Structure 1
Amino acid sequence: MKNYFLFLVLIFLFSCSKETSNIKNDSIATTYYKKAKKLSGDSAYYYYNLAKNAYLDIKDSSGVGRSLVNMAIIQQENGDYYGGIETSLEGNRYLKNVNDTIVRATLGSSYNNMGISSSYLYDYENAIKFYTEALKYAKTPADITLYQNNLGDALVSLKEYKAAEQNFILALKTEDKLNYARALNNLARARYSENPKYNPLPEFYTALKIREENDDLLGQNSSYATLSNYFLDKNNKEKALEYAKKMLTVSRQKNSKEDQAQALQKIVYLDKENYPQYFKEFQILNDSLQISKSRAKNQFAVVRYDVEQKNAENQRLKANSAEKDNYILRQYFILTILVFLIIFIIILYRKRQIRLKQEKELEIKNTQLKISKKVHDVVANGIYQVMTKIENQEYFDKVKALDELEFVYEKSRDISYEKSDASTEEKYFSEKVSELIGSFKNESVNTYIAGNDKNLWENVREKTQDEIYQIIRELLVNMRKHSGASTVSFRFERIQDEIRINYSDNGIGIPGDVLYKNGLSSTVSRIEAIRGAIIFDTKIEKGLKINISFPVS
């Protein structure tokens, strides 16, 4: 009876200890969460991660979900769009009680965040799905208006103007002046996109006036961008430049590098007299943005890894403390044996965890070194090469420089997607050509290839292959920038010791007198370097045809 009573006392003390521990952990989780809300960027992300782990300890699924959604929003705001979507999806799995007001609001924010990330990734179909889901959970007028505006923007991007207009009209019902201005500006833009004869200027100016009166810098920036695009479309370059410069001024005030880059891109195109000054500023800013986005994915992974390590250490310390607190209660021999047995099992488990952790750390370090080397070899060397050419050329060919920078960007994007260089080197040249042409295929452009088989390129020198690869890329880049084509085709054929490439598209074509101003002068130079010939057929009714021929050896 005495032993039984002691056993009940042990159970009671253990239960009290566990309840006290849960209360303490709840307080810790709340403290971390509140601290994160006062911070921003990496710091906020760090404390939301700590809060998530603390909520996991007390099995508070709502707290875990809210912490993860806030982490996802920070990732999205810093350019880690894929990571932001993944973290939002992880957070949604913990937000199960949809009848809870806070849970519903958090789910709305989560789906909206995934919609924004998808829009930045040009995945507008998924963006529409996410914004539609967000509206199901929206309760406050501000949230409803925000999600309707976002949904409308995505629909405009897919040219579904009627559906977009319906959302903007609903958003106009808001009592908030700034939300009303945004909806009005968007509605006018959608109507003009659907009908070029429609005059959107009264709405554009009304929205701008509201934003200026309320000192809404972000909204002003949007209005200036819209007006600049409108006047550029109307071929009024003077007005387009005026609003682009206003956009640049406001984006500098609110320190928005993305908006500054957009404004500078417009100004570089419109202000020919001051082109070098603005282009240099754009180049520096764009490089900074690309580097920041490249770092975003790894930076948040490192923060999460660091927090997990500290959390594991805290768990170990808690376990040791619990052992010391309960040691006096283990006075009977059988209980002591059981305790030692448990400790032995824990030690074995921890040794295994430490070994697995060390292996994971080594794997992460090797991956980071590999990526670092790729960034140095591909991106840094590529940019340095372009800078050297610009520095040493008396005449600065901006189109050629932009094309080369875009090639470096394409390579850096390959690294971000973790494509293996080794696998690329093992591919036949015909596969490389097919992949290059296929990479320009998207929702608005279809690409077709005929005759590009492995035998076509037999005995063709590597240098010639490299030049042909660059020529095809330059043709595709020129098509995307200037032609507005929806269909592009390449036909390859080999006649004895000569290879012929026939290119055609259904774009606006290129007049003969401006042919070499569209980034194709280097194409002609490359053809001459391999003793080939190129013929531009600019007299066809629509589109462009180019015939290229060159000797095999």
Structure 2
Amino acid sequence: MKLPEHFLVLSILFLIILGCGKSTKNNPPGFKEDSAEAYFQQALNAKEPSKMLVHFKEGLRLGTITNDTIEYYLLDGIIYSFNKLKEYDSSMAYSEKMIRQARINQKTYFEALGYYRKAVIHQYLNNYKEQFRNAFKSRNLYLSIGDSLRAGKRSLEMANAQSSMSDYTGSQENATLALSLLQKTKDSSYIGSALNQIGIANRERGFYQDAIANYESGLKYSTSTEDSLSFLNNMALAYRDNGDFSKAIDYLKLINSKNEYADKESHARFIDNLAYTEWLRDSTANVLVPLKSSLEMRLKNNDLKGLTSSYNHLSDYYSNKDRVQAKEYAVMSLEAARKNDSKISELNALENLLGIVEPRESEKYIRRYLHLNDSLKTAELKAKNFFAKIKLDEEQKQKEIDDLQAESFKQQLESEELKNQTIILSLGGLLILVSSGFGFYYLKQRHEKEKIQEIHLTETRISKKIHDELANDVYNVMSGMQEIASNDIMNKLDHIYNRTRNISRENSSIPLGENYLPHLISTISSSLSENIRLILRGEESIN
């Protein structure tokens, strides 16, 4: 059983990263016994989907989905196994689980992978609208993390879904976007697929030369002979549709000479295309054998799409030879188209049948043809509108997210601005408060200083008055009484005189000039009590 490329690459990378521990007996080398990693490798070795599923689930049972990468790989393995078993409801449930847990844990890569897995499931179910929707979400997530390769692949899958619903214009747009993304990664196989899808869109809209140019460009990126044959076949059909039957036949002959490289369905298709193209160039050409040979191969392979084509071609072949046979093949083509649930093939079969049956039989086919034609046009229009709506809805959703982010950023700026204003106002208030305190303190100190100065001036004035008036009066009294007063009285008067003189000196200003030293010595001497003697020496040498 062949693992899909995406799952296989993830598995190999995972094992390279984690396979560096000790070997354990009866367990894959590099992993601990009963570890999630060991079960993951056991699942890969099992190969059968049912056995793989058991190991993947057992590995997942050991832990919960957190930020551990191994658990996402186990989830992906479970989804893959359920898809191989065609149990799509189960694989869908696990895809949803992967998306949900990856979103919670902000694992964008695995969220995108989950949406891709859902797209694949819807492709299996031929639900092309949901295939497109999930591939679109996956692409946007891959773009958000700069993964151009996977974003390009998802764009290509979107183009395929649109092509399946006949929205060829939209298909070309997304295939072109896929091409621009894939060219950055130099992934040859997917670049070729994108060019092939653009070619299909151009051919379906009648731009045959453009389609041929696209196929030729895609052929340069072919990575296998099988792919090259497919490109050459598409080129041949474009030449045939454009009326260049000879060139188409040359290509188809070349392709049929390499049929050993083609799978069974492609082998039958190449034979049928060559025979039918030769008949279109020459309606007398004997191509019945290869047409029937292709039909037998398709019956054996139960290729309903191929059978529809073979029956149509045989009906055309018999149209001018045997109308009964032509009608029988046209009816079988219609039945095969209905079994394959292909409304486009059914419409083509009805158109072919209406050209063969008698007018009296044509009424029931005409009604079905008109109904089907109208429903296909309506479905095509709805598909175009649906794809456009998904794109518009997602763009609107992204715009709302951007607007919310912008509003949040604006509110954050306003909050920061308000915070800054609050800080500035607080600092301003604090500055005013400090300044006011400092001013109050300064004024208070100034007032105290002025008050002290005023007291000093008052004391100086009083001391001067005492010195100039009271001391002089005392001195005059002493002079007048010196002859008549007793020594005791004279001593008392002398004491009073000295006290008044000292009061004057204590409150007088200090001279700072030449008289500084004598005044200082006099002041010190006068401040001493009577029973203390002060002896000074060397004061005259002080500078």
Q: TM-score range by the shorter chain?
A: 0.5 to 0.7
Deviation at 1:247, TM superposition (A): 0.3
Equivalent residue runs for 1:419-434 within 5 Å: none
Query: Does the 8 Å contact 2:312/2:352 carry over to 1?
Result: no
Q: Does 1:202 align with 2:289?
A: yes
Q: 1:430-454 CA distances to partner (integer Å, 9 max, x unpaired)?
A: xxxxxxxxxxxxxxxxxxxxxxxxx
Counterpart residue number, 1:259: 345
2:235 to 151, 156, 176: 151
Counterpart residue number, 1:497: none
Q: Does the C-alpha gap of structure 1 residues 44 and 315 become closer, same or farther in structure 2, counting only changes over 3 Å?
A: farther
Counterpart residue number, 2:361: 274
Deviation at 1:77, TM superposition (A): 1.3
Q: Does the C-alpha gap of structure 1 residues 166 and 183 become closer, same or farther in structure 2, counting only changes over 3 Å?
A: same
1:163 to 247, 258, 282: 247
Q: Does 1:239 align with 2:320?
A: no
Equivalent residue runs for 1:95-110 within 5 Å: 95-97=182-184, 99=186, 103-110=187-194
Counterpart residue number, 2:216: 132
Counterpart residue number, 2:313: 226
Counterpart residue number, 2:302: 215
Within 2, Cα distance between the matches of 1:260 and 1:185?
Answer: 19
Within 2, Cα distance between the matches of 1:264 and 1:21?
Answer: 52
Deviation at 1:163, TM superposition (A): 2.5
Counterpart residue number, 1:188: 275
TM superposition score normalised by structure 2: 0.53
Deviation at 1:253, TM superposition (A): 0.3
Counterpart residue number, 2:140: 53
Within 2, Cα distance between the matches of 1:195 and 1:43?
Answer: 45
Which has the higher Rg, Structure 1 or Structure 2?
2
Matching residue's letter, 1:249: E
Deviation at 1:152, TM superposition (A): 0.9
Within 2, Cα distance between the matches of 1:22 and 1:167?
Answer: 54
Query: Does the 8 Å contact 1:168/1:187 carry over to 2?
Result: yes
Match of 2:182, SS? coil
2:117 to 13, 34, 39: 34
2:381 to 294, 299, 306: 294
Counterpart residue number, 1:71: 158
Matching residue's letter, 1:203: P
Deviation at 1:162, TM superposition (A): 3.1
Within 2, Cα distance between the matches of 1:319 and 1:59?
Answer: 22
Within 2, Cα distance between the matches of 1:26 and 1:323?
Answer: 30
Within 1, Cα distance between the matches of 2:151 and 2:218?
Answer: 19
Within 2, Cα distance between the matches of 1:311 and 1:63?
Answer: 20
Within 2, Cα distance between the matches of 1:316 and 1:47?
Answer: 24
Deviation at 1:215, TM superposition (A): 0.4
Q: Does the C-alpha gap of structure 1 residues 318 and 38 become closer, same or farther in structure 2, counting only changes over 3 Å?
A: farther
Root mean square deviation, CA, Å: 3.3
Deviation at 1:309, TM superposition (A): 2.5
1:112 to 190, 193, 196: 196
Within 1, Cα distance between the matches of 2:178 and 2:163?
Answer: 14
Q: 1:466-492 CA distances to partner (integer Å, 9 max, x unpaired)?
A: xxxxxxxxxxxxxxxxxxxxxxxxxxx
Deviation at 1:310, TM superposition (A): 2.8
Q: 1:241-280 CA distances to partner (integer Å, 9 max, x unpaired)?
A: 1110000010010111111111112222222131111111
Equivalent residue runs for 1:515-530 within 5 Å: none
Q: 1:189-231 CA distances to partner (integer Å, 9 max, x unpaired)?
A: 2222333332111100000000001100010111011111111
Match of 2:283, SS? coil
Equivalent residue runs for 1:304-453 within 5 Å: 304-314=391-401
Instruction: Using the aligned pairs only, state the percent identity.
Output: 30
Query: Does the 8 Å contact 1:49/1:307 carry over to 2?
Result: no
Within 1, Cα distance between the matches of 2:395 and 2:226?
Answer: 36
Query: Does the 8 Å contact 1:41/1:74 carry over to 2?
Result: yes
Query: Does the 8 Å contact 1:53/1:311 carry over to 2?
Result: no
Structure holding more helix per residue: 2
Q: Does the C-alpha gap of structure 1 residues 71 and 27 become closer, same or farther in structure 2, counting only changes over 3 Å?
A: same
Query: Does the 8 Å contact 2:350/2:369 carry over to 1?
Result: yes
Within 2, Cα distance between the matches of 1:37 and 1:248?
Answer: 29
Q: 1:498-545 CA distances to partner (integer Å, 9 max, x unpaired)?
A: xxxxxxxxxxxxxxxxxxxxxxxxxxxxxxxxxxxxxxxxxxxxxxxx
Equivalent residue runs for 1:485-504 within 5 Å: none
Structure holding more strand per residue: 1
Q: 1:14-72 CA distances to partner (integer Å, 9 max, x unpaired)?
A: xxxxxx99972222222222221221311111111111211221122222221211111
Q: Does the C-alpha gap of structure 1 residues 105 and 185 become closer, same or farther in structure 2, counting only changes over 3 Å?
A: same
Counterpart residue number, 2:74: none
Number of matched pairs? 313
Q: Does the C-alpha gap of structure 1 residues 242 and 288 become closer, same or farther in structure 2, counting only changes over 3 Å?
A: same
Deviation at 1:184, TM superposition (A): 0.6
Deviation at 1:153, TM superposition (A): 0.7
Within 2, Cα distance between the matches of 1:61 and 1:321?
Answer: 30
Query: Does the 8 Å contact 2:148/2:184 carry over to 1?
Result: no
Deviation at 1:118, TM superposition (A): 1.4
TM superposition score normalised by structure 1: 0.52
Match of 2:302, SS? coil
Counterpart residue number, 2:371: 284
Matching residue's letter, 1:276: E
Within 2, Cα distance between the matches of 1:42 and 1:114?
Answer: 20
Within 2, Cα distance between the matches of 1:64 and 1:152?
Answer: 31
Q: Does the C-alpha gap of structure 1 residues 207 and 248 become closer, same or farther in structure 2, counting only changes over 3 Å?
A: same
